[in-house]
Amino acid sequence: MFENRLTLRPTVPVIIRFTEYNSFITYCSYFAENFIENQLLDCFD
């Protein structure tokens, strides 16, 4: 039981960091897509 607790502990911050990292990437890609689309629309206008 004690060994399992030790191995389980460090994974929690990793999961939190992973979700933060994923949301950051999603935000960046979303921002980049909007930016590129706006730039293209400006060019075509």
pLDDT per residue rounded down to tens, the chain (45 residues): 556 666 666 677 887 888 888 888 888 888 888 888 888 778 776
- What was the pLDDT predicted at 19? 87
3-state DSSP: the chain helix, strand, coil percent, rounded to 5? 90, 0, 10
Nearest to 11, CA basis, from 19, 26, 22, 23: 19
DSSP state of 14: H
CA distances from 20 to 3, 9, 11, 23 (A): 28, 18, 14, 5
In the chain, domain spans: 2-44
- What was the pLDDT predicted at 6? 60
pTM for this model (two decimals):
0.45
